């Protein structure tokens, strides 16, 4: 037989032995085809014996395959009879035999150590699982206790329940959203009585504290549902909300409602009423998401959306009513975003739409108003504003003031002009 064929067969034998050892290691002991399962404590000794025997079997198999391959490679030479061995050769044979025995002893020691390590790992895993179950049980007990406090008739106890639930949210990361949902759910419940205002303000305070940009433990990534909640003098200035925030059906009252410098991922205001004397979203940032105002009403004395930043996002107003004397959307900065008004009503106000394109391509119109109605309004497009499109709108007794450097970027298709209203490039209509 040629030498290359012999080498090939020896290599195949070694690969087979390596595969057997690898598979046995992955199974947990050295019997191929037997699936490793974690033994109970009573079966540790039996598993130890099985593991040792398995390693010995594999060792014998590897030794047999290696020895047979070597003899086959040497052409199956004939060994001399026992009488032909001298004392030196006998001693060499004894050394070889002792080396083989020592090798099998090493295999046994390796199997024992491996088995002990697996048992220790299993005990550690069980201890970790037991600790996790105990921790979850304690968390559940704390959750039940805080929920009972929130349902108490005493306002002081309810306030203590607010801080207990907030503390649990800080400690229980897996159920943090659930704890916050409970706090928001309390705000949605209409409840009167002495001390109730302090309880509700306590909930808003812990939410504000955990959504600050410098908060040690932030809740900013969570979702907040304030549906139908009435908030007086709401202060969410410079807060960060990267999750979904719902103010659907909510009402903001009082002197000031402030979202100045706040950052939102997704903001939903469906049917929301902004009735505070001043409502400010100045410096609002919408990054990668959107802000929707559907059926919202803006009253009071001033509504301010100036200096906002929209990156790959939009602010959309659909069927909204603006009745504040001053509405400011000036100096908005867009990067692949836009400001959209659809079927909105503007009456008796000054509207500043002098936005800027920022890094946005000039082909994209940053401000679009479609099917809107403007009555007795003054619209400011100057101070560098550009890219305003009014389409299919009704403008009754409206003054449009444009001192910007790019009047050609505005467009006015399909509008109905009444009461002497004129647009840049159009004649006044009686």
Query: What does the pLDDT look like over 269-279, one tens digit per residue?
Result: 999 999 999 99
Provide the b/e sequence for 269-302 (b: ≥16 CB within 10 Å). Answer: bbbbbbbbebbbbbbbbbeebbbbbbbbbbbbeb
Candidates 19, 48, 49; CA nearest to 118 is: 48
Structure tokens at 416: 């109905």
Contact 349, 327 (CB under 8 A): yes
Output b/e per residue, 208-237; b: 16+ Cβ within 10 A.
bebbeeeeeeebbebbbbbbbbbbeebbbb
Higher pLDDT, 186 or 20: 186
Measured distance CA(308)–CA(280) in Å, rounded = 11
In whole numbers, what is the pLDDT of the chain averaged over residues? 80
Phi-psi region of 21 (alpha: psi -120 to 50; beta: other; left: phi over 0): alpha
| Cα distance between residue 376 and residue 258, in whole Å | 28
Instruction: Tell me if residue 62 falls in helix, strand or coil.
Output: helix
| C-alpha pair distances (Å), 190 with each of 185, 193, 197, 251, 386 | 10, 10, 11, 13, 46
Residue 33 binned pLDDT confidence (cut-offs 50, 70, 90): very low
Instruction: Give the tokens for residue 128.
Output: 């970790």
Three-class DSSP category at 292: strand
pLDDT tens by residue, 71-120: 666 666 666 665 666 667 667 666 766 676 666 666 667 767 777 777 77
What is the percentage of the chain residues whose pLDDT exceeds 90? 47
Query: What pLDDT was estimated at residue 60?
Result: 66
Reported pTM: 0.71
Give CA–CA dist 239/31, Å, rounded: 60
Degrees (nearest 5) of the Cα angle 425, 428, 430?
Answer: 160
Top-confidence residue, 218 or 407: 218
35-54: average pLDDT:
56
For residues 70 and 75, give the distance between their C-alpha atoms in angstroms, rounded to a whole number. 9
Beta carbons within 8 Å of 286's beta carbon, 6+ residues apart: 263, 264, 265, 267, 308, 309, 310, 311, 313, 314, 315, 337
285-337 pLDDT, tens digit per residue, is 988 788 999 999 999 999 999 988 887 678 999 999 999 999 999 888 877 77
pLDDT attached to residue 340: 93
pLDDT for residue 48: 59
* pLDDT tens per residue, range 183-230: 999 999 977 888 999 999 999 999 999 999 888 899 999 999 999 999
Name the helix (H) or strand (E) containing 300: none
Query: What tokens appear for 14 in the block?
Result: 């070694």
**325 CB-near residues (< 8 Å, 6+ apart):** 301, 302, 348, 349, 350
Paired with 416 in beta bridges are 394
- What phi, psi does 126 have (nearest 5°)? -65, -40
């Amino acid at each position: 037989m040629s030498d290359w064929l012999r080498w090939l067969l020896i290599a195949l034998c070694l690969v087979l032995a390596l595969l057997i050892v690898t598979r046995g290691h992955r199974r947990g002991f050295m019997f191929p085809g037997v699936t490793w399962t974690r033994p109970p404590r009573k079966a540790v000794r039996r598993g130890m014996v099985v593991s040792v025997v398995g390693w010995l079997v594999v060792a014998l198999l590897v030794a047999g395959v290696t020895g047979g391959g070597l003899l086959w490679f040497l052409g199956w030479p004939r060994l001399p009879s026992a009488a032909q061995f001298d004392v030196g050769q006998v001693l060499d044979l004894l050394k070889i035999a002792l080396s083989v025995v020592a090798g099998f002893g090493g295999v046994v020691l390796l199997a024992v150590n491996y088995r002990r390590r697996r048992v220790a790992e299993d005990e550690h895993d069980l201890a970790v699982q037991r600790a996790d179950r105990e921790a979850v049980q304690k968390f559940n007990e704390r959750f039940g206790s805080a929920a009972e406090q929130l349902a108490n008739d005493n306002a002081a106890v309810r306030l203590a329940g607010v801080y207990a639930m907030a503390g649990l949210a800080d400690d229980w990361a897996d159920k943090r959203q659930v704890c916050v949902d409970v706090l928001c759910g309390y705000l949605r419940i209409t409840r009167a009585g002495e001390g109730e205002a302090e309880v509700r303000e306590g909930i808003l305070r812990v939410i504000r504290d955990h959504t600050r940009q410098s908060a040690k433990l932030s809740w900013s990534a969570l979702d907040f549902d304030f549906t139908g909640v009435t908030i007086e003098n709401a202060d969410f200035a410079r807060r960060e909300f990267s999750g979904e925030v719902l103010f659907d059906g909510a009402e903001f009252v009082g002197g000031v409602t402030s979202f100045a410098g706040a950052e939102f991922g997704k903001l939903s205001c469906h049917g929301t009423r902004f009735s505070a004397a001043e409502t400010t979203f100045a410096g609002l940032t919408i990054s990668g998401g959107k802000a929707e105002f559907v059926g919202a009403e803006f009253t009071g004395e001033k509504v301010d959306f100036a200096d906002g930043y929209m990156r790959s996002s939009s602010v959309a107003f659909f069927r909204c009513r603006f009745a504040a004397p001053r509405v400011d959307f000036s100096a908005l900065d867009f990067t692949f975003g836009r400001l959209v008004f659809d079927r909105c009503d503007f009456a008796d106000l000054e509207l500043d739409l002098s936005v800027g394109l920022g890094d946005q391509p000039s082909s994209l119109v940053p401000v679009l108003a479609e099917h809107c109605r403007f009555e007795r309004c003054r619209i400011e497009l100057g101070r560098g504003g550009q890219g305003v499109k009014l389409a299919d709108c009704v403008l009754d007794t409206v003054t449009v003031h444009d001192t910007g450097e790019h009047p050609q970027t505005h467009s006015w298709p399909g509008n109905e002009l009444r009461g002497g209203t004129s647009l840049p490039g159009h004649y006044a209509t009686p």
